Amino acid sequence: MQFLIYLRNLAQGDLGISFARAPARVQEMIAQALPWTIALQLPAIVIGWVLGNVLGALAAYKGGWLDRGAFSVSLFISSIPYYCLAILLLYTFAVHWPVFPPGGGYSYAMSPSWNWYFIQSALYHYWLPFLSLVLIFIGGQAVGMRAMAIYELDADYVRYSRGMGVSDNRIVAYIFRNAVLPQVTGWRLPSARSSVVRSSPRLSFVSGDRHLVVQRYPPERLPGCAGGHAVDHDLCLAGKLYCRCRLRLYRPENPGQRGWRTLRRTYGRCRTGTTALKTESIFWTDLRRMLAGAPTFNRRFLTSLGFLVVLVGFGFLGPLILDKQEPMRTVGGLFDAPSATNWLGTDNFGRDVFTQLMFGIRTSLIIGLIAGAVATLIGVFIGTAAGYSGASSKRR
């Protein structure tokens, strides 16, 4: 019921009153924070986007060690959860080597104004969030761009240019222009991403509207929280809508689905023989082909599988083998340093971090498995039902 009232107010543009800063209305707080967010995120996104896409196109075209190296590194970077990256950067560059300030948008001694000292201070405080955003963006964009650019390598214009002796840089530029489209549509403010990091006020990154959102414990700030997210989300949506319109302009035949990219990526290949009647599923053919072994794939596949097996073994068998079965037992003081008995020291309750780590991995894996299974089951059920009965007859 309360939620309905909230929705009604939301429809009228009223986001309610913040719990945390009681008299302030949420929309005013957001209005204050919004330009800040955009001004801070935009440069990082633009730079990250450009660098990432150029890197992806180059890697795809050049191949070889550049491709392998760039691809694994960007995959690794893009798989670091944003909060983990932020924590690590923060610790490395603000605490261990205090090169950058640990938090705030500008020096506490100043108030926002347009003089040189303030700008200097703001820039200085901007470096760390800027770096983390750029890094994450480069990683993600490079991975996506590489996949798209590989498709372009077979295109006639690439072969023709190669045959005509056009310089490599030029060809990369051509490929870039042709493959960049889906990357443009994926372009939006990285919304909820950088939020959680700021959960500790002392170690907060530069504020956006996120700063209003989750500071320590969200429940008491729900109006602000939801409001901030709503605005943020609207921004994303507006961006997406814009991109989709552009996309429509460029590609009239485009079905206008986000699935398009994934579709092309996964099923874009021409499967010869599927049009004929086949009793055997492609999956098994593929599986057999895979087991017969294409060497490039096998290595990476086996490496990552090996990694996973080690992680799973560490989480599920580790406690048994190493006989560390009581993660909740207090064995030391507050943050004891690593020692012979406590290999990774103790946490804030004096519990052994190493034991906790094994049980933590186990819990995380179980939750992930359940979540993945549930999501896939529901998704496949609804997706097939909708795709089978739905609008596709119109489209074909």
Partner 1 sequence: MGLTNVVITIPSIVILILLSIAVSTRSIVTMGLIIGIISWPWTARAVRAQTSSLRTREHVDVARISGSGPFALIVREIIPYMLSYIVMAFVLQLSSGILQEAALSMLGLGPSRTISLGIMLHWALLWESVRTGAWWAFVPPTIFLTLIAFSLLSLQSSVDEIFNPRLRRN
- Segment 267-306, which members bind partner 1 (CB under 8 A)? 267-269, 274-278, 281-283, 286, 289-290, 294, 296-297, 300-301, 303-305
Q: Extract the tokens encoding 357.
A: 């780590």
Closest approach of Cβ 302 to partner 1, in Å? 9
d(CA 107, CA 122): 7
Closest approach of Cβ 7 to partner 1, in Å? 12
Looking at 47, 54, 196, 331, which residue binds partner 1 (CB under 8 A)?
A: 196
* Number of residues forming the site for partner 1 (CB under 8 A): 125
Q: Which is nearer to partner 1, 118 or 240 (CB)?
A: 240
Closest approach of Cβ 281 to partner 1, in Å? 4
Three-state secondary structure of the chain = CHHHHHHHHHHCCCCCECCCCCCCEHHHHHHHHHHHHHHHHHHHHHHHHHHHHHHHHHHHHHCHHHHHHHHHHHHHHHHCCHHHHHHHHHHHHHHHCCCCCCCCCCCCCCCCCCCHHHHHHHHHHHHHHHHHHHHHHHHHHHHHHHHHHHHHCCCHHHHHHHHCCCCHHHHHHHHHHHHCHHHHHCCCCCCHHHHHHHHCCCCCCCCCCHHHHCCCCHHHHHHHHHHHHHHHHHHHHHHHHHHHHHHHHHCCCCCCCCHHHHHHHHHCCCCCCCCCCCCCCHHHHHHHHHHHCCHHHHHHHHHHHHHHHHHHHHHHCHHHHCCCCCCCCECCCCCCCCCCCCCCCECCCCEEHHHHHHHHHHHHHHHHHHHHHHHHHHHHHHHHHHHHHCCHHHHC
Should residue 374 be labelled a site residue for partner 1 when binding is judged by CB under 8 A? yes
Should residue 84 be labelled a site residue for partner 1 when binding is judged by CB under 8 A? yes
Closest approach of Cβ 388 to partner 1, in Å? 6
Closest approach of Cβ 145 to partner 1, in Å? 13
Closest approach of Cβ 291 to partner 1, in Å? 10
Looking at 9, 169, 257, 330, which residue binds partner 1 (CB under 8 A)?
A: 257
**Which stretch in 21-29, 31-39, 82-90, 124-132 sits in contact with partner 1 by CB under 8 A?**
82-90
Looking at 6, 19, 67, 119, which residue binds partner 1 (CB under 8 A)?
A: 67
Site track for partner 1 across 173-192, x = CB under 8 A: ------------------xx
Should residue 124 be labelled a site residue for partner 1 when binding is judged by CB under 8 A? no
**Which stretch in 32-40, 105-113, 129-137, 372-380 sits in contact with partner 1 by CB under 8 A?**
372-380
Looking at 265, 316, 331, 350, which residue binds partner 1 (CB under 8 A)?
A: 265
Should residue 117 be labelled a site residue for partner 1 when binding is judged by CB under 8 A? no
Q: Which is nearer to partner 1, 53 or 342 (CB)?
A: 342
Should residue 356 be labelled a site residue for partner 1 when binding is judged by CB under 8 A? yes
Looking at 117, 160, 250, 335, which residue binds partner 1 (CB under 8 A)?
A: 335
